[in-house]
Amino acid sequence: MTFVVTENCIKCKYTDCVEVCPVDCFHEGPNFLAIDPEECIDCTLCEPECPVEAIVSEDDLPEDQADFLQLNAELAAEWPVITEVKKPPEDADEWADKPNKRELLER
């Protein structure tokens, strides 16, 4: 099992989660984070750290977010690892909980 970064992270990209990850499974893109499912050890440490609740266990992944499991795997293979907290985008709070952000994901 793995944890999955879901749509709510798009344009929010808070990085509180990366600092607690013991295996460095987070990867950073322009406006989204991804979890490498091959590296994730299901430790659960990252999930409560996300202020916008964008990290979900694979077992609890809502049906409308199911494609994010594969998307995380694909993007983690392309993007560099991130291990330190960075300042979120200035408008991150404005994007939190907004639906239908998929088309805004930058690769």
| pLDDT tens readout for residues 83-93 | 999 999 999 99
Q: How confident is the model at residue 61 (pLDDT cuts 50, 70, 90)?
A: very high
- Containing structural domain, residue 7: 3-83
Q: Residue 103: inside a domain, yes or no?
A: no
**What is the CA angle 33-34-37, rounded to 5?**
160
Instruction: Tell me the CATH number at 24.
Output: 3.30.70.20
* pLDDT for the residue 15: 98
Count: domains in the chain: 1
Report the pLDDT value the prediction gives residue 46, as an integer from 0 to 100. Answer: 98
Which pLDDT value is given to residue 86? Answer: 97
Distance, CA of 57 to CA of 50 (rounded, Å): 13
- Contact present, 8 and 52 (Cβ < 8 Å): yes
